[in-house]
Amino acid sequence: MPTRSYTGRHRPAAKPSRGRRLVVPVALLSSTVAAGLVIRDAGASELSPEAASMKNISESVAGLGLVADPDAVAAATANRAGARSSRDVARDATALIATASASAQRSAAAAQEAATAKVKAAAAAKAAKAAKAAKAAKAEAKKKAAKAALAKARRWVSPVAGYTLTSGYGMRWGKMHPAQDLACPVGSPVHALSSGTVVFAGWSNEGYGNLVKIRYWDGTVSWMAHNSRLLVSVGEEVGPGQRIAYSGSTGNSTGPHVHLEIHPEDGGAVAPVRWLAKRGVTI
Ligand SMILES: [Zn+2]
């Protein structure tokens, strides 16, 4: 019977000589021995091949009479286990940090990319809006210019600059005078009333002398008679105020004047003064 008690189940050699007693660094032995201690606690049927192999090594060590202080072994094992555990934790933490860092970097990159794309999209939208506004402004300006040009083309003006109103529209000497006579010196410039086309320019055999008829943009036709000289011909386009003739006293006339007739829609003549007044022209 042994005289000393052991926490381990292996028994030391009965009387180990100093010469046979091997001093093995506890650190080297600890794993094997500690494993052996655990393994020897377990039944053989519960051991994995790896553990079984460890058990054999452990028994071999025991067979050689190697001895290790069980407390030291336990402490070393705990330390090693603790150290391993700490290293594992540190390694895991490092891996986690690396993963988190990579993930964060990816997220940051994605966020940066998204932000850049958003900025680019906003800039593109702004540019498109500006281009659209510029185009709209240009179209508006063009429209305005066209409207102004049209208004200018469609304005009405007086047929002659310096004149005296003589015979008006109405009965004269027992017959109808369907015109307004504007007395003026021979050779006074005679103007088109607005934009239109010359439909007659020549000598009239009906007493009008040198006559010009113009059909305007609204369908109205003006007759201007007794001219000394004509400046336009049939088919010619004319604009408001354009010089079309010089006044005179040709045809059935008692003195130099412009005989002006207004025929709306090329129909019957109307009173020129009232008709022109409605268009902003006072004579
Ligand atoms: Zn007349």
Asked whether residue 158 is domain-assigned, the answer is no
Which residues, other chains included, contact 57 with Cβ-Cβ below 8 Å and sequence gap of 6+?
32, 36
Which CATH number is 227's domain given? 2.70.70.10
Is residue 250 one of the residues assigned to a domain? yes
Express each pLDDT in 220-275 by its tens digit: 999 999 999 999 999 999 999 999 999 999 999 999 999 999 999 999 999 999 99
> Quick check: is 244 in a domain?
yes
Structure tokens at 107: 């997220």
Q: How far is the CA of 252 from the centre of ligand 1 (A)?
A: 9
Name the token pair of 188: 């006074």
Mean per-residue pLDDT over the chain, rounded: 82
Report yes or no on 236 lying in a domain.
yes
Q: 157's torsion region: left (phi>0), alpha (psi -120 to 50) or beta?
A: beta
| Residue 131 located in a structural domain | no
pLDDT attached to residue 38: 43
- Per-residue pLDDT, 92: 79
Q: Is 206 inside any structural domain? A: yes
- Over residues 23-39, mean pLDDT: 45
By CB atoms closer than 10 A (0-12, 13-18, 19+), residue 65 is: middle
Q: Which of 5-19, 28-42, 140-154 has the lowest mean pLDDT?
A: 28-42
Least confident of 35-49, 110-124, 134-148, 223-237: 35-49
* DSSP β-bridge partners for residue 262: 222, 270
* Lowest-confidence pick of 114-123, 214-223, 252-261: 114-123
> What is d(CA 232, CA 245) in angstroms, rounded to the nearest whole number?
7
Q: Strands 189-191 and 229-230, how do they pair?
A: unpaired
Total domains, the chain: 1
173 C-alpha vs ligand 1 centroid, how far in Å?
12
Separation of CA 78 and ligand 1 centre (Å): 136
Question: 169 C-alpha to center of ligand 1: Å?
Answer: 9
pLDDT digits (tens, 9 = 90+) for 165-212: 999 999 998 999 999 999 999 999 999 999 999 999 999 999 999 999
Distance 228 CA to ligand 1 centre (A): 15
- Contact between residue 192 and residue 208 where contact means Cβ atoms under 8 Å apart: no
Among 68-77, 84-93, 245-254, name the one with the lowest average pLDDT: 68-77
How remote is the CA of residue 6 from the centroid of ligand 1, in Å?
154
Q: Determine the structural domain holding residue 251 and report its residue range.
A: 164-277
Q: Does a structural domain hold residue 28?
A: no
| Interval between CA 181 and ligand 1 midpoint (Å) | 5
Calculate how far, in angstroms, residue 255's C-alpha sits from the geometric centre of ligand 1. 10
Residues with Cβ within 8 Å of 96's Cβ and at least 6 positions away in sequence, in order, are none
Cα(182)–Cα(177) distance, rounded to whole angstroms? 13
Q: How far is the CA of 178 from the centre of ligand 1 (A)?
A: 8
Residue 221 falls within a domain, yes or no? yes
How is residue 193 annotated by DSSP? S
pLDDT at res. 138: 96
Ligand 1 centroid to residue 250 C-alpha, Å: 12
